[in-house]
Amino acid sequence: MEQFDLSPVSPSGVELSAFRLHGTVSRTRKPVAGQTRRTARDGRRAVANYRLGSAHMRRPIATTVNLVLLAITTGCGHASAALPSVSPTFADVVDVDCSPSGTRASATQLTVQRDGVHIRVQNTSGSSGVYLNYRYGEGMGEGGGQPVGSGTLLVLPLAPGPVQLHCSYDQSTREDRPVSIDLLDPDRSWRTGALAALGCPPPEKSLVDWIYRPGSGSTADAALAALTAQLDEPSPWRHVREGYEAAARQTYVLMRAGQPWATVSVTRSAADSYQASLGSLCSAGRVTAR
């Protein structure tokens, strides 16, 4: 009886497992009818064919694995790539039309500029005595109005947040329904809180501005000097960062004995002349005239 040994070898040259195939072939046993006798030569031929097939399979298997890894790596690269963030932008000028059918605005959101809120007004109503009126602040408790005609560009010191606009006609004997606009300030051009920290209300809430004549001059300091010349005692001033940083109207505080006494609004005109008007009294302020 003859022994033969079949030890399969992996494509990398390492044994796939620790098994051995043992077989016996009897030279005296008769084959079953229709069946060919298997010999040791047949076993050696099977081993050779197995090794030849493994060598041919080695390349496509490695190629397939590499392609799969490439696909996974590429997919992960696309998944982890950061998408650029796009911030929405809004117009910094809104067009308002005082029309026969009512007040119409070109946008519901507006980006404020460094000097305030820019509103361009058209009057297509055919009426005269037209005003653009605005309400803003907590409970829409602040407001005002400006006479307008076609092509008027207003720059208003309205705080960021919701604002209501409406046109009125014939000296306010007839008014439109208001339209709402949200004022956005992404660059933080509006500043507030400095007056409150000094114990002073805003200048527009003044009850004493009528007591003193406004001071005028070619510079803000010249206008302030003309105003304070009317007071009964020296009152140096300091600029306060309140409102829009590049607005035509800036806020100052008059000091007495080192304490805030009153606010002053200094307005720059188109001709670069300045006018200083007394505003509101601070917490320790009192009015005495010469």
Query: What is the average pLDDT across 41-52?
Result: 54
Query: What is the average pLDDT across 269-279?
Result: 90
- 26 assigned to some structural domain: yes
- 148 assigned to some structural domain: yes
Lowest-pLDDT range, 78-92, 174-188, 219-233?
Answer: 78-92
- 266 assigned to some structural domain: yes
Whether 22 has a pLDDT exceeding 50, the answer reads no
What pLDDT band is residue 150 in, cutting at 50, 70 and 90? confident
**How many domains does the structure of the chain reveal?**
3
d(CA 143, CA 136): 6
Q: Which of 55, 80, 105 is the last residue of a domain?
A: 80
pLDDT at position 272 is: 82
- 180 assigned to some structural domain: yes
Whether 243 has a pLDDT exceeding 80, the answer reads yes
Q: Which of 80, 112, 143 is the last residue of a domain?
A: 80
- 60 assigned to some structural domain: yes
| Strand positions, DSSP E, 7-63 | 21-25
- 45 assigned to some structural domain: yes
pLDDT at position 197 is: 95
Exposed / middle / buried, residue 110 (Cβ in 10 Å: 0-12, 13-18, 19+): buried
Give yes or no: residues 196 and 178 share one domain: no
Domain range enclosing 63: 2-80
What pLDDT band is residue 172 in, cutting at 50, 70 and 90? confident
What pLDDT band is residue 33 in, cutting at 50, 70 and 90? low
pLDDT at position 13 is: 43
d(CA 87, CA 185): 13
Give yes or no: residues 203 and 237 share one domain: yes
pLDDT at position 2 is: 47
Give yes or no: residues 105 and 173 share one domain: yes
Task: Please give the share of the chain, as a percent, with pLDDT higher than 90.
Answer: 56
Cβ–Cβ < 8 Å for 161, 192: no
Q: Which of 116, 151, 184 is the last residue of a domain?
A: 184
* Average predicted confidence (pLDDT) for the chain: 78
d(CA 49, CA 29): 27
Global pTM value: 0.65
Q: What is the end-to-end Cα distance of the chain in Å, rounded?
A: 140
Exposed / middle / buried, residue 277 (Cβ in 10 Å: 0-12, 13-18, 19+): buried
Tens-digit pLDDT profile for residues 192-205: 999 999 999 988 87
Give yes or no: residues 97 and 178 share one domain: yes
- 289 assigned to some structural domain: no
